Structure 1
Amino acid sequence: MEAAALTPVDWMVVIHHELFLFAGLFFLLGTLDELAIDILYAVGRLRGQIRTPRIARDCVEGRALGGRAAVIVPAWQEHDVIGATLRHMLRAWPQSELRIYVGCYANDPTTIAAATRAARGHERVRIVVHSAIGPTTKADCMNSLYRAIQQDERREGIDYAMVVIHDAEDMVDPAALPLFDAGLASAELLQIPVLPMPQAGSRWVAGHYMDEFAEAHGKAMVVRDWLGTGFPSAGVGCAIARGRLAKLDAQNGGTGPFDAGSLTEDYELGLKVAQDGGRTAFLRVRGEEGHLVATRAFFPHRLDTAVRQKSRWVCGIALQGWDRLGWTGSPLDGWMRLRDRRGPLAALVLFVAYLLLLLTGALMLAESLGAARSPGLTPVTEMLLLANAASLLWRALFRAGFTAMEHGWAEGGRSILRLPVSNIIAIMAARRAVVQYLASLRGSMVQWDKTEHHGHPSVGHQPVGQQATA
């Protein structure tokens, strides 16, 4: 049939076939990539090299530290949550060796006031007001906190052993600080899992974070740690040796250890430490009662705020990361960076897959009206269809299992139903991320695109460990 004789329905059949091949092949490549991680995880578990040890919380929580610790909490327009965060942190971590540095901006008086009220009567909290007009970037705010730490060290003649990074809404685990302290003997950067909390009013949007973090911090990061490749810091629940921060500061010409021009300084931090030869460790530990030692937090509960947050991740990791970090390291490091940067391509493939669903429905309707005839499946397309159907089932069951492990089987079941929500957010975030990246190439200033926080995880939830309720 000549091209000129093709009807609109014929063109739909041709486009449907080509899109099917495109999506099917890339889904198959993604399947093989994920299957490799699954196999490595299974091998590590069977060999006993990947495991989640148990600790007696009573013997760990509140234990004195071997050195001084500084916690830095950057805060821009966080008046709704910063008070609850500080009060919880002071209860959960009563160690006298700890000092909390909260970074605020002079043009954000409500956050300063909320932090000041929560810190009243506590010598272990210092409010640091940034000299710049906010918002700058989160990394820039953390650099101002680092300079405050340096000033205190010089003025008081003290030395910090580690710096712990947290966000303004985090609910810390009482056992985390002593574990960080002990872990510094063998690593310069330590990361514990992040555990998004369920939100009754947002089972689908906020809930999809539970699914993604359960699998990422239960499997992918664990495998990366086992393989010895660099893994990205989560930006919360992360401890770094004071000496390593000084080295990063020197590499940046004394401007601070965190790159103020990066949208995802947390992601880059872990990779830079590993790239410079520093030892990193992902600490996955449970208490004797079975609760994971993790940072608990609320994530965005609305579609628009979830898209905004994830677009920053995609832009900073997949697009800026390519420019800023390149592909240095071992072949294993290259594989992991490729996985980190696949977000825009994965979103494109997902978009094509949903477009295929619409085209399939339209062609079925046309066939029922006698306007078209189904071209049928070729051996190649049939193989792709079966392979991807099996892959979808495997991935859904795997995700449900990891979600159920942390949040119960009810949430594990919901995780399967939340897969389309996760995919739609990924597609929308990738589109926005590409726009952001192109704007940055034209010289647009990078600013702190902060996450909106709906409530605080310490409200209405039973804190983990005894110290949290002291």
Structure 2
Amino acid sequence: MNGLVDIFATYLYGLKFIAIGLALMMLISGLDDLFIDIVYWVRRARRAVTVYRRHKPMDYQALYEPDEKPLAIMVPAWNETGVIGNMAELAATTLDYENYHIFVGTYPNDPDTQRDVDEVCARFPNVHKVVCARPGPTSKADCLNNILDAITQFERSAKFAFSGFILHDAEDVISPLELRLFNYLVERKDLIQIPVYPFERKWNHFTSMSYIDEFAELHGKDVPVREAIAGQVPSAGVGTCFSRRAVMALLADGDGIAFDVQSLTEDYDIGFRLKTKGMTEIFVRFPVVSESEGNQPRRFLQRARSSNVICVREYFPDTFSTAVRQKSRWIIGIVFQGLKTHKWSASPTLNYFLWRDRKGAISNFLSFTAMLIMVQLVALWLYQHLWPDAWQFLSIFTGGPWLMTLLWVNLGLMINRILQRVIFVTVYYGLGQGLLSVIRLFWGNLVNFMANWRAIRQVIQHGDPRRVAWDKTTHDFPSVTGETRALRPLGQILIAHQIITEAQLEQALMNRIPGLHLGGSLMLQGVITSTQLAQALAEQNGVRTESIDAWEIPVALIAKVPASIALRYAILPLRIERGVMVLASENGIDPVSLAALSRKLNCEVEYVIVPRGQVVTGLRHWYARYRGQDDRSLLQTAVKEGWISEAQSEAIWHRFVPHQFLFAEVLTTLGHINSSAINALLLRHERSHLPLGEFLVKEGVISQETLSRVLSRQQELQLSMQTLLSEAGLTTQQMAALEQAA
């Protein structure tokens, strides 16, 4: 027994020196963290008594002032079946922005994800599938490079350029005003990063809940201080927007390759590369607090401005193994690959934050080792005080005053660390989660320790950190809708209802009339009627169909829809039912546009599809910016003069209406402008007083010659009222009298 006691006493003696060395290293790390805390709180207090006393914080309404610039969202997708549809649906229904496109990177050996993305693309015209050149999974950087290549090809074909390029994962839930914030800043900043706040799970899900603690403090305090001191912001890989200037510089620097394919943290890598090029980076915590949001019930000590910032939300890994895998990838990329890629710079401030990034490889071990020592000492204390006739051992912390001072200082630094964590978790998630973060601190230390150990083992195994393969972790996505529904082809619907035969469809496809879509071409060829076309389109889009007379719409209802909106979306208001405005359209309205209409009209909307020409003639009557002759008044005058009968007038009108076509349809169908580009142009045209054709010429999108050709083709496709009246027997003199009266 005495031998065991001697061995244990010797062990405690050795543990003393380990603890002293550990305490010294923890002092250095703790003082480092304390410095960040002091800078944050001093800076916050100084701004409160200086800047914010002279200037009120910017109101979120200012984000609506700039025109919507085209933005591209890049989403890598490997084994993401069932997720992309949810993301597109959520974006379409919640994003307060229209001028964006989502490019989803898929792999040739992942047919399930490809099939899912194809269905989403059918419903959402602003979602585009990209198939990577190599089978997956490659690295995230490789997938992003493929997406960027597809974007540049898209820009060339669409003849327009994106202003910003945004990184997101398929599982991200995007704040409604995120794109407006990027749109506001992208011309002045080259890298824009917004906070990431993980979704909560049940309190006992310690693994995923430890992420909320780390991100709350990192994006609430550490990164803002880093930006203020060094002017450098690490991308989080999601919620990051790059300016066009930044992306073009990265492409030029990498000879057409923007992202480092050997890096496991390509987002972190790019932040430094852009900084060395002298580009501006910003971390934005932008609160959106309206009167209604400010009065909403909140958890105890949860702050309205902190909990309503524009941010990215997502679920993080919920199992121990997946969290270890993800964090080990971060450690390899930031610490080991970063040491090889980003040497110490000439900037002391930048080197300081490089040190902070890399000290995690040490501090994770320190925290875990300190936790093990504490567990042992607590167990020893319990043994000595609760066990009868227990052996009493000297404390390993006996020594001079310097050792006690060191221990007390470290205790104070530890209490400060815990307090800081509680504060930043509380202001976003409430006091309950803030207090639980103290318990989760120990579990988080264990996850980080195992991740560190795995990272070191992988680096040793491969001999070079840049050879470690990409190890993708899976996330959950909050359920927002049911299954995504792809649109059935119009031709198949017409065949299913026995309106046309397969031979007629094949003939129509081979001989489609230039300037018209398939449906309009079939109608103009006399194969189907405008009513049959409307019914097929309604079935394709899952809405109702009806026939309208635009002249019977009440003036008060027309006044509720501004001309810019009616002309932009080619819609007419029909009625308001139970607070829902029913709109008429001749074609399907995609979910993004439907959500935008609801926001712009400040009410819930739904739509019906009406036969060809009924909306076009109504738009010309109610909303045309520059009115020409009124075709309906020509008919009415001819009837009044007794030159044609009421029956003739009715027949002429029913023949005239289906043969009226929108300028934008003819323009895009002829291939002068990509259908995706026309949406961006129509958004800009909303604020112009020029006709669309003149606006496009002024913007340099098309030439005057092209405009003349398109207008000429539109006239060829349309039936003119003069032609129909002449066929009804009106003389040249009578026609001249009608036109003079009009």
What is the TM-score of this pair, normalised by structure 2?
Answer: 0.58
The correspondence of residues 179-194 of structure 1 with structure 2, limited to 5 A, is: 179-194=181-196
Taking the aligned partners of 1:338 and 1:36, their CA distance within structure 2 comes to 14
The correspondence of residues 295-314 of structure 1 with structure 2, limited to 5 A, is: 295-314=312-331
Taking the aligned partners of 2:82 and 2:362, their CA distance within structure 1 comes to 37
Taking the aligned partners of 2:115 and 2:265, their CA distance within structure 1 comes to 28
Taking the aligned partners of 2:392 and 2:230, their CA distance within structure 1 comes to 58
Question: Which residue of 2 is the match for residue 286 of structure 1?
Answer: 287
Question: Which residue of 1 is the match for residue 457 of structure 2?
Answer: 435
Question: Which residue of 2 is the match for residue 84 of structure 1?
Answer: 86
**Partner amino acid for 1:377?**
T
Taking the aligned partners of 2:98 and 2:74, their CA distance within structure 1 comes to 16
Question: Which residue of 1 is the match for residue 162 of structure 2?
Answer: 160
CA offsets per residue over residues 252-304 of structure 1, 9 Å max, x none? 122x2100000000111112111210000111111113311101111011111
Note the C-alpha offset of 1:11. 1.9
**Partner amino acid for 1:401?**
I
Give the alignment partner of residue 69 of structure 2, picking from 59, 67, 70: 67
Question: Which residue of 2 is the match for residue 315 of structure 1?
Answer: 332
Matched-pair contact (CA < 8 Å) for 1:196–1:296: yes
Q: Which runs of 5+ in 1 are unaligned?
A: 460-465
The correspondence of residues 24-103 of structure 1 with structure 2, limited to 5 A, is: 24-48=23-47, 60=63, 65-93=67-95, 95-103=97-105
Using a 3 Å threshold, how does the CA distance of structure 1 residues 64 and 440 change in structure 2: closer, same or farther? farther
Question: Which residue of 1 is the match for residue 540 of structure 2?
Answer: none
Matched-pair contact (CA < 8 Å) for 1:298–1:457: no
Note the C-alpha offset of 1:240. 0.3
Question: Which residue of 2 is the match for residue 271 of structure 1?
Answer: 272
CA offsets per residue over residues 320-378 of structure 1, 9 Å max, x none? 11111111141010000100011110122123213323442565547963374445522
**Partner amino acid for 1:418?**
R
Matched-pair contact (CA < 8 Å) for 1:172–1:295: yes
Using a 3 Å threshold, how does the CA distance of structure 1 residues 57 and 232 change in structure 2: closer, same or farther? same
Taking the aligned partners of 1:47 and 1:201, their CA distance within structure 2 comes to 36
Question: Which residue of 2 is the match for residue 463 of structure 1?
Answer: none
Taking the aligned partners of 1:334 and 1:322, their CA distance within structure 2 comes to 12
SS of corresponding position for 1:185: coil
Question: What is the aligned length?
Answer: 460
Give the alignment partner of residue 341 of structure 1, picking from 315, 334, 358: 358
Matched-pair contact (CA < 8 Å) for 1:230–1:275: no
Question: Which residue of 2 is the match for residue 135 of structure 1?
Answer: 137
SS of corresponding position for 1:397: helix
Note the C-alpha offset of 1:59. 6.3
- Matching of residue 227 in structure 1 with residue 243 in structure 2: no
**Partner amino acid for 1:309?**
Q
Using a 3 Å threshold, how does the CA distance of structure 1 residues 271 and 445 change in structure 2: closer, same or farther? closer
The correspondence of residues 360-375 of structure 1 with structure 2, limited to 5 A, is: 360-361=377-378, 364=381, 365=383, 369-370=390-391, 372-374=393-395
CA offsets per residue over residues 368-415 of structure 1, 9 Å max, x none? 633744455222331222112211211111111110111111111111
**Partner amino acid for 1:14?**
Y
Compare 218-227 and 118-127 and name the one that shifted more.
118-127
Question: Which residue of 2 is the match for residue 462 of structure 1?
Answer: none
Taking the aligned partners of 2:465 and 2:358, their CA distance within structure 1 comes to 22
Taking the aligned partners of 2:397 and 2:127, their CA distance within structure 1 comes to 69
Using a 3 Å threshold, how does the CA distance of structure 1 residues 300 and 375 change in structure 2: closer, same or farther? closer
Taking the aligned partners of 1:85 and 1:202, their CA distance within structure 2 comes to 28
Note the C-alpha offset of 1:442. 5.2
**Partner amino acid for 1:314?**
I
Question: Which residue of 1 is the match for residue 10 of structure 2?
Answer: 11
Matched-pair contact (CA < 8 Å) for 1:202–1:301: no
The correspondence of residues 195-214 of structure 1 with structure 2, limited to 5 A, is: 195-200=197-202, 203-214=205-216
Using a 3 Å threshold, how does the CA distance of structure 1 residues 408 and 54 change in structure 2: closer, same or farther? farther
- Matching of residue 417 in structure 1 with residue 439 in structure 2: yes
Give the alignment partner of residue 415 of structure 2, picking from 361, 386, 393: 393
Using a 3 Å threshold, how does the CA distance of structure 1 residues 110 and 20 change in structure 2: closer, same or farther? same
Compare 23-32 and 370-379 and name the one that shifted more.
370-379
Using a 3 Å threshold, how does the CA distance of structure 1 residues 390 and 196 change in structure 2: closer, same or farther? same
Using a 3 Å threshold, how does the CA distance of structure 1 residues 59 and 48 change in structure 2: closer, same or farther? closer
Matched-pair contact (CA < 8 Å) for 1:400–1:415: yes
Matched-pair contact (CA < 8 Å) for 1:65–1:178: no
Note the C-alpha offset of 1:156. 2.0
Note the C-alpha offset of 1:54. 5.5
SS of corresponding position for 2:147: helix
Note the C-alpha offset of 1:97. 2.4
Taking the aligned partners of 1:196 and 1:456, their CA distance within structure 2 comes to 12
Matched-pair contact (CA < 8 Å) for 1:13–1:363: no
Using a 3 Å threshold, how does the CA distance of structure 1 residues 408 and 92 change in structure 2: closer, same or farther? same
Taking the aligned partners of 2:360 and 2:411, their CA distance within structure 1 comes to 21
Question: Which residue of 2 is the match for residue 327 of structure 1?
Answer: 344
Larger-Rg structure: 2
Note the C-alpha offset of 1:9. 2.1
**Partner amino acid for 1:236?**
V
Identical columns (%): 32
SS of corresponding position for 2:75: strand
Matched-pair contact (CA < 8 Å) for 1:164–1:239: yes
Taking the aligned partners of 1:375 and 1:440, their CA distance within structure 2 comes to 40
Matched-pair contact (CA < 8 Å) for 2:117–2:129: yes
Taking the aligned partners of 1:441 and 1:313, their CA distance within structure 2 comes to 18
The correspondence of residues 440-459 of structure 1 with structure 2, limited to 5 A, is: 440-441=462-463, 445-456=467-478
Compare 436-445 and 341-350 and name the one that shifted more.
436-445
Note the C-alpha offset of 1:202. 5.2
Matched-pair contact (CA < 8 Å) for 2:231–2:282: no
Taking the aligned partners of 1:358 and 1:235, their CA distance within structure 2 comes to 37
Question: Which residue of 1 is the match for residue 722 of structure 2?
Answer: none
Using a 3 Å threshold, how does the CA distance of structure 1 residues 396 and 372 change in structure 2: closer, same or farther? closer
Compare 142-151 and 22-31 and name the one that shifted more.
22-31
Question: Which residue of 1 is the match for residue 239 of structure 2?
Answer: 237
Taking the aligned partners of 2:21 and 2:248, their CA distance within structure 1 comes to 48
Matched-pair contact (CA < 8 Å) for 2:15–2:396: no
Taking the aligned partners of 1:201 and 1:43, their CA distance within structure 2 comes to 33
Using a 3 Å threshold, how does the CA distance of structure 1 residues 440 and 246 change in structure 2: closer, same or farther? farther
Using a 3 Å threshold, how does the CA distance of structure 1 residues 170 and 64 change in structure 2: closer, same or farther? farther
Using a 3 Å threshold, how does the CA distance of structure 1 residues 48 and 366 change in structure 2: closer, same or farther? closer
- Alignment RMSD (CA, Å): 2.8
The correspondence of residues 115-130 of structure 1 with structure 2, limited to 5 A, is: 115-130=117-132
Using a 3 Å threshold, how does the CA distance of structure 1 residues 340 and 176 change in structure 2: closer, same or farther? same
SS of corresponding position for 1:340: helix
What is the TM-score of this pair, normalised by structure 1?
Answer: 0.91
SS of corresponding position for 1:454: coil
Matched-pair contact (CA < 8 Å) for 2:96–2:177: no
Taking the aligned partners of 2:164 and 2:378, their CA distance within structure 1 comes to 58
Matched-pair contact (CA < 8 Å) for 1:263–1:315: yes
**Partner amino acid for 2:436?**
R
Matched-pair contact (CA < 8 Å) for 1:69–1:163: yes
Taking the aligned partners of 1:311 and 1:452, their CA distance within structure 2 comes to 15
Taking the aligned partners of 1:418 and 1:284, their CA distance within structure 2 comes to 25
Question: Which residue of 1 is the match for residue 373 of structure 2?
Answer: 356
Matched-pair contact (CA < 8 Å) for 1:81–1:456: no
CA offsets per residue over residues 301-323 of structure 1, 9 Å max, x none? 11111111111111110111111
Note the C-alpha offset of 1:25. 0.8
Compare 333-342 and 115-124 and name the one that shifted more.
115-124
Compare 336-345 and 41-50 and name the one that shifted more.
41-50
Matched-pair contact (CA < 8 Å) for 1:139–1:259: yes
